[in-house]
């Protein structure tokens, strides 16, 4: 294929995309396929010669959409959303065309500078104070790992990077059991170890108990361990737990510990000033992660990390071998020094397009609608005698269950997702299997949300 043919096929792809989205409401949300079915449709060996693009495209249409879970379906209520608003898709198409490599300012001046401006725009949009700078990672997992490596090295005065982790006191990291598994993964990868990720007890609201945090840190120090940092969640993945940010940061600061706040999902709602009380005290955080690729409509991947002071992270992750030196330009930002991979996509462009195409007010309206509709739905489910709400709405997320055994609930969830009109997932809360609902898809309407009630009535 050459670039003239690419232009023709891009038009075909754009038409295909429009039809795909136009017909999405009629498709089952979760892929209706079994493991191995797709792989069996592909030849076991690659072709030696070129194949006709007509045939390649036909195979795509025949094989892929039918075996795909439709994350852009307006009745996708599972996990958290992974929106791809049309303007962000367009921006990524332009990035694909240029295929920019944004590791250094010099390799991508526009990408670097737009990233800096987008970090500032979003910092202000979330109501964060102006001392925060930041960068864009592929995922919250990577942002959190970057923060954990930074807290480790800061506590070790950068000796871990230098000498390795042997012969050191036990490093300790603190978070509640409500935080995302990416924190466990970071503890593992950073050489801290799962056993040294202290799961601080939570209170009746599933929020980290700041007094228990203080007690755990003090006991660890007395035992000769080395605390490195505290991770808080604002909107935990399971049920939307929110740690008391101000109190936990206060405890962390008295012990000179680095703090990281995981607001990967709920952070999006902070563009609405009325929700900012949820993360009261956030101004004191050292690091914060928010995923515009969830609720803000920006096509995956786009994870914003805000840093009160970038120096410790750059000191931890930044290496400058001679081949990456930018001659005579010491003042420029080279974002590869802020992040783990050297190569970087131009992720800021889709943020720029999305924010401009919908405006902050357009995004706020969506978030406010989702929250209002989730509240309405929870209220309606509560009225059905055979169901109970197991955790109340936190923004647009709540959980519920059929009154009865876990098995009955598992069977109901399977019936719901096989039916295909909606897609829900599960979690465990207080030892019970509960069904999770969240609203957040970009094109979702009140009718889409209320379809859940119809489906529950039909299938339970
Ligand atoms: C989604 C989510 C993550 C992981 O996000 P990725 O960008 O997929 O790594 C981490 N924490 C929370 C609270 C999340 O909701």
SS3 labels along 400-427: EEECCCHHHHHHHHHHHHHHCCCECEEE
Q: Which of 78, 82, 83, 141 to mutate to test the pocket of ligand 1 (most atoms within 8 A of CB)?
A: 141
Q: Tell me, in angstroms, the distance from the centre of ligand 1 to residue 335's CA.
A: 22
Give every CB contact of residue 2 below 8 A, 6+ residues apart in sequence.
none
Cβ of 291 closer than 6 Å to ligand 1, yes or no, is yes
| 381 and 337 share one domain | no
Looking at the domain assignment, is residue 312 inside a domain?
yes
Q: Checking DSSP bridges between strand 226-233 and strand 258-262, what pairing results, if any?
A: parallel
Classify strands 133-137 and 303-307 as parallel, antiparallel or unpaired.
antiparallel
Q: What is the mean pLDDT of residues 201-209?
A: 95
Domain membership flag for residue 257: yes
Cβ neighbours of 429 (radius 10 Å): 16
Contact 128, 288 (CB under 8 A): yes
**Ligand 1 atom closest to Cα of residue 141:** 9
Number of domains comprising the chain: 3
Q: Is residue 275 part of a domain?
A: yes
Is residue 176 lining ligand 1, measured as CB closer than 6 Å?
Answer: no
Among 345, 378, 396, identify where a domain stops: 345
Q: Residue 355 falls within a domain, yes or no?
A: no
Q: Does ligand 1 come within 6 angstroms of the Cβ of 179?
A: no
* CB of residue 147 inside a 6 A radius of ligand 1: no
Do 369 and 338 share a structural domain?
no
- Residue bearing the CA closest to ligand 1, atom 8: 139
Do the beta carbons of residue 336 and residue 342 sit within 8 Å? yes
pLDDT tops 80 at residue 326: no
Kindly report, residue by residue over 57-108, the tens digit of the pLDDT.
999 999 999 999 999 999 999 999 999 999 999 999 999 999 999 999 999 9
Residue 221 and residue 341 share a domain: yes
Identify whether 94 is part of a domain.
no
316 & 406 share domain: no
Using the 3D structure, point to which of 43, 67, 91 is the last residue of a domain: 67
Q: Is the CB of 180 under 6 A from ligand 1?
A: yes
CATH classification at residue 10:
1.20.1340.10
Task: Look at residue 322 and tell me whether its pLDDT is greater than 90.
Answer: no
Q: How remote is the CA of residue 264 from the centroid of ligand 1, in Å?
A: 5
130 and 247 together in one domain: yes
Tens of pLDDT, residue by residue over 223-279, are 999 999 999 999 999 999 999 999 999 999 999 999 999 999 999 999 999 999 999
The best mutation among 237, 238, 293, 302 to test binding of ligand 1, ranked by most ligand atoms within 8 Å of the C-beta, falls on: 237
Q: Judge if 373 and 309 occupy the same domain.
A: no
Same-domain pairing of 383 and 259: no
Residue 278 lies in a domain: yes
Domain of residue 106: give its range.
101-345
- CATH number of the domain within which 365 lies: 3.90.1150.10
- Say which residues have a Cβ less than 8 Å from residue 198's Cβ, sequence separation at least 6: 172, 173, 174, 175, 216, 220
Based on the fold, state whether residues 227 and 109 are members of the same structural domain: yes
**Same-domain status, 340 and 375:** no
Cα 257 to Cα 252: distance, rounded to the nearest angstrom: 5
Contact 396, 439 (CB under 8 A): yes
CATH number at residue 243: 3.40.640.10
State yes or no: pLDDT of 139 exceeds 90: yes
**Residues whose CB falls within 8 Å of the CB of residue 389, separated by 6 or more in sequence, listed in order:** 378, 381, 382, 398, 399, 400
CA of 442 to the centre of ligand 1 (A): 18
Residue 197 neighbours by CB under 8 Å, 6+ apart? 173, 174, 175, 183, 184, 187
**Domain match, 306 and 443 both:** no
CA-wise closest residue to 234 among 244, 247, 246, 220: 244
At residue 320, the pLDDT reads 79
**Ligand 1 site, residue 303, Cβ cutoff 6 A:** yes
Q: Calculate the CA dihedral of residues 306, 309, 312, 318 and round it to 10 degrees.
A: 60
The strand pair at 287-290 and 303-307 is best described as antiparallel
Domain boundary among 317, 345, 373: 345
- For residues 262 and 319, membership in a common domain is answered with yes
């Amino acid at each position: 294929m050459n670039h003239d043919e690419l232009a023709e096929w891009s038009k075909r792809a754009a038409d295909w995309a429009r039809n795909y989205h136009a017909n999405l409401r009629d498709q089952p949300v979760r892929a209706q396929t079994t493991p191995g079915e797709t792989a069996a449709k592909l030849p076991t060996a690659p072709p030696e010669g070129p194949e006709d693009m007509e045939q390649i495209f036909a195979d795509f249409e025949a094989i892929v959409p039918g075996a795909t879970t439709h994350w852009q379906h307006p009745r996708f209520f599972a996990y958290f959303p992974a929106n791809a608003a049309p303007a962000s898709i367009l921006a990524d198409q332009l990035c694909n065309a240029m295929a920019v490599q944004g590791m250094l300012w010099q390799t991508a001046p526009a990408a670097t500078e737009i990233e800096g401006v987008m970090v500032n725009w979003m910092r202000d949009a979330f109501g964060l104070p102006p001392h925060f700078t930041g960068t864009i990672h592929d995922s919250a997992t990577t942002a959190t790992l970057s923060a954990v490596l930074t807290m480790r090295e800061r506590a070790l005065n950068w000796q871990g990077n230098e000498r390795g982790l042997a012969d050191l006191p036990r490093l300790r990291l603190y978070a509640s059991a409500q935080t995302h598994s990416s924190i466990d993964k970071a503890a593992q990868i950073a050489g801290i170890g799962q056993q040294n990720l202290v799961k601080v007890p939570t209170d009746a609201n599933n929020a980290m108990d700041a007094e228990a945090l203080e007690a755990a840190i003090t006991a660890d120090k007395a035992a000769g361990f080395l605390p490195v940092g505290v991770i808080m969640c604002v909107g935990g993945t399971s049920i939307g737990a929110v740690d008391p940010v101000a109190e936990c940061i206060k405890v962390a600061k008295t012990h000179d510990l680095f703090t990281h706040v995981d607001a990967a999902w709920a952070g999006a709602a902070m563009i609405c000033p009325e929700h900012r009380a949820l993360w009261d005290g956030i101004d004191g955080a050292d690091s914060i992660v928010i995923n515009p690729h969830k609720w803000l409509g920006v096509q995956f991947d786009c994870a914003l990390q805000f840093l009160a002071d970038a120096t410790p992270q750059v000191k931890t992750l930044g290496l400058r071998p001679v081949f990456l030196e930018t001659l005579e330009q010491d003042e420029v930002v080279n974002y590869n020094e802020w992040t783990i991979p050297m190569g970087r996509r131009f992720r800021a462009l889709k943020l720029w397009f999305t924010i401009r195409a919908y405006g902050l007010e357009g995004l706020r309206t969506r978030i406010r609608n989702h929250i209002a509709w989730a509240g309405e739905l929870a209220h309606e489910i509560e009225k059905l005698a055979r169901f109970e709400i197991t955790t109340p709405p936190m923004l647009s997320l709540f959980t519920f269950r059929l009154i009865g055994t876990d098995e009955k609930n598992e069977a109901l969830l399977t019936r719901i997702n096989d039916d295909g009109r909606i897609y829900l997932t599960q979690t465990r809360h207080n030892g019970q299997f509960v069904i999770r609902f969240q609203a957040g898809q970009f094109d979702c309407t009140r009718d889409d949300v209320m379809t859940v009630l119809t489906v529950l009535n039909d299938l339970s």
